[in-house]
Each structure stands twice: as structure tokens, then as C-alpha cells.
Amino acid sequence: MARRSANRPIDGPADDYYREEKPTGLLTRFVPDRLRHSGMYKWLLHLTRVFQFLSSVISLGIFSQRMYKVYRLVNSIKTRRGIAGSYGAVEGILAAAVLYTLIATLLGCIKKNSSPGPKWLRWLWVVLDILFVGAFIAVAVITSPSGGSAGPRHCYSATRSQEDQSNNVNGQTANANDDSCNLPWGTFLLAILSTLLHAITAAFHEVRDHHRKTKRAAAEEEMAMHGHAGVQPVAGNVRY
């Protein structure tokens, strides 16, 4: 083992079985090594997770406020209780996004890594981020101001005349006096922002665990070299 260590290059790995682990994330491998191991890269990904959580929470709060008013107004007129399914779909997506980003943010703070866990869990984060990219695209379409079924132009009102109530209940007319009609604008814009943020965390991952393994391997290599150097004087005293 000592001879094999002596023939091994100084800058080689400390163990024969050590192999460089491929980074997770769709585009992480294309990031330069110096940038991947920098503090700026690490904090950028951590802030991205935090912004994902804040965007989801704010969007859920905005849309829930509008949904509550729609539910109250519509069910004060309709005999059959309930509102359009698009509102429930958006509410469900936003609630799931809040839960997911909260878990990812908390684990990131505990493990000090924006994508914590073993390799299989890191790829699970990638899959979930891709799914939320598609989910927030759907939210942006549903809350779109140009025709979205839960957008600003589909505004419910209970203050119109009796003959126009059918249109108001179905959300076909807008009420300029209702400030809550503009709330879906916030959900629409934040959905676009969340789409970009989840695309970033699906494409780029932190490689801090691998960097730590590399530093440990370098320390073990240095210890092995020092140990081998200590054996050489003993070998020189042998007489033939």
C-alpha cells in the first residue's frame, strides 16, 4: 500500500475508490468550477429558495382574498353553492407551492445547502421544481388579464341590477368600483416570477457537499504523504 501511495501523483485522490461525483441539476455541470464553489453561487441559490417561498405566500394571500369575496358574492345569489373550478385549481397549486418551498427552505437552512439530501433526493427536487414550473405556467394562464377564467376581467359583483345578475355570477362583466377585481394581477405577475425561480433551482444546484469531500480527500492525501515521508529515513538505515 505504501508503494502504491508513493507512485500515486501528489494531486491525485486520497483513495483509489474515490470518484468525482457528477453534480445534480440540469445545468450545474456547465457552470465554471470557480463559480460553483464560490460563496456568491451558494447564496444566490439560497435566496432563490427564499424568494420562491415569499412569492408563493404572497400570491396565495392575494388570491385567497379575492376568492373569499367571489365565494361570498356568488353564493349570496346562486341557489347551488360553489364557484368556478379554476379558482380551486389556482388555490390548490399555490397552497402546494407554499408547502414545498417551506420544506425546501427549512431543510436548506438546517443542512446549509439549497438542495439538501443525498443524490436521489436532489434529483427529486429537480423533478418537483419542473412540475411547479408547469403548475405556475397554468396559474399564469388562468389568472391572465387577457381572457383567464380567474383573471381581472372576470370580476363578480352583487351591486348590479337584477336583470344583469346572471352575467355577474358567471363572471362575464367587470365592476370598476370593486378594487378586489385587480387582485388577480398580483397572482398573475407572481406566477411568472415563480416560474422563473423554479426553473433556476431545477437547472442549478449547489455542490457544497462534493467540495467538502474534495477538501477531506486533500487532507487525507497530505497525511498519507507525510506518513510515507516518515518511513523513508528508517529504510535508509538498513545495512546490507
Tell me: do 41 and 103 sit in the same domain.
yes
Mean pLDDT over residues 198-220, rounded?
71
Residues 133, 239, single domain; the answer is: no
Q: Which domain holds residue 202?
A: 32-206
On the question of pLDDT at 208 being above 90, the answer is no
Residue 161 resides in a domain: yes
Q: Is residue 215 part of a domain?
A: yes
161 and 107, same structural domain? Answer: yes
Identify whether 21 is part of a domain.
no
Q: Are residues 158 and 237 both part of a single domain?
A: no
Cβ pair 145, 185 in contact under 8 A: yes
Residues 117 and 212 in one domain: no
Each residue's pLDDT tens digit, 129-179: 999 999 999 999 999 988 788 888 766 544 443 444 444 444 444 455 566
Do residues 125 and 168 share a domain? yes
Total domains in the fold of the chain: 2
What does the pLDDT read at residue 140? Answer: 95
Q: Which of 44-53, 63-72, 151-160, 166-175 has the lowest mean pLDDT?
A: 166-175
**How does pLDDT run across 217-232, given as a tens digit for each residue?**
666 767 777 765 555 5
Q: What is the pLDDT of residue 18?
A: 42
The mean predicted confidence, pLDDT, of the chain is 75
Residues 99 and 72 reside in one and the same domain: yes
In a domain, 27, yes or no: no
Q: What's the pTM? A: 0.69
DSSP code per residue over the chain: -HHHHHHS-TTS-SSTT--PPPPPSSSGGGS-HHHHTSHHHHHHHHHHHHHHHHHHHHHHHHHHHHHHHHHHHHHTT-SS----HHHHHHHHHHHHHHHHHHHHHHHHHHHTSSS-SSHHHHHHHHHHHHHHHHHHHHHHHHT-TTT-TTSTTS---SSS-GGGHHHHHHT-S--TT-GGGGHHHHHHHHHHHHHHHHHHHHH----HHHHHHHHHHHHHHHHHHHHHHHHHHHHHT---
- pLDDT at 2 exceeding the cut of 90: no
For the residues 207-220, what does the mean pLDDT come to?
58
Whether 202 shows a pLDDT value over 90: the answer reads yes
2 domain-assigned: no
Say if 13 falls within a structural domain: no
pLDDT score recorded for residue 171? 46
Question: Is the confidence at residue 25, as pLDDT, over 60?
Answer: yes
Per-residue confidence (pLDDT) for residue 137, from 0 to 100: 97
Residue 22 resides in a domain: no
Whether residue 61 is found in the same domain as residue 170: yes
Q: How far apart are the first and last CA of the chain?
A: 24
Is there a single domain that holds both residue 44 and residue 84? yes
Question: With 50 as the cut, is the pLDDT of residue 198 above it?
Answer: yes
Q: Residue 228, exposed/middle/buried by CB under 10 A (0-12, 13-18, 19+)?
A: middle
Q: Do both 174 and 239 map to the same domain?
A: no
Mention every residue, 6+ apart, whose C-beta is less than 8 A from residue 230. none
Whole-number Å distance between alpha carbons of 23 and 177: 54
Q: 227 vs 15, 136, 230, CA distance in Å?
A: 15, 57, 5
Q: State whether 126 and 218 are in the same domain.
A: no
Whether 155 and 70 share a structural domain: yes
CA-CA-CA-CA dihedral for 114, 116, 119, 120, to nearest 10: -110
Q: Is the pLDDT of residue 42 over 80?
A: yes
Is 10 part of a structural domain of the chain?
no
